[in-house]
Amino acid sequence: MLPTSPPGSTLFFFLLAATITFLMTLANRLFMDPEKLKAWRKEISDYYRQLREAQKSGDKKLMEKLMKKQQYILQLNAKISWQSTKVMLIFLIPLWIVWFFLGGIYGGNEIAYFPGLGWHLYIPLLPWPITSLFWWYMLCSFLFSTLFSHVFGLVGVE
């Protein structure tokens, strides 16, 4: 039986976000080569740093040299994006099924309660309070995504 009110529902979605994010991060780690990704990100970062410096200094020769490399940098960006997209495609259908099921149970109910702040925590321009199913899951997911990305060594260039 799933908990339908806080604190049970708050904890349930916190743990669900942790589990799903862990599995997606693990899949990313298994399907990607983190060292290659870090090298690509560093190369892209260096390219844009050099480009900014060339623009600032007005070095036309360096600008021409960097412009010739631009297509290659765009290809590297596309490769990095495809690596993340592969894992998302694997998880897309199962996640839709889970969310369809959970949406039917929890619907528009607020599932999280912030002690001292209450139920109705709105952020301007967002249609639902952050205590709703969608926003609470997203908040937890971002937290665990950052944590697990560091644990599995999938973070970008420092």
- The better pLDDT of the pair 84, 64 is held by 64
Full domain range(s) for residue 85: 8-151
CA-based nearest residue to 22, from 145, 157, 154: 145
pTM of the model: 0.68
Domain presence at residue 50: yes
Q: Alpha-carbon Rg of the chain, whole angstroms?
A: 21
Q: Domains in the chain: how many in total?
A: 1
For the segment 93-111, the average pLDDT, to the nearest whole number, is 82
pLDDT for position 129:
58
Q: Are 44 and 146 in contact (CB under 8 A)?
A: no
The whole-number average pLDDT for the span 77-100 is 87
Q: Is residue 3 part of a domain?
A: no
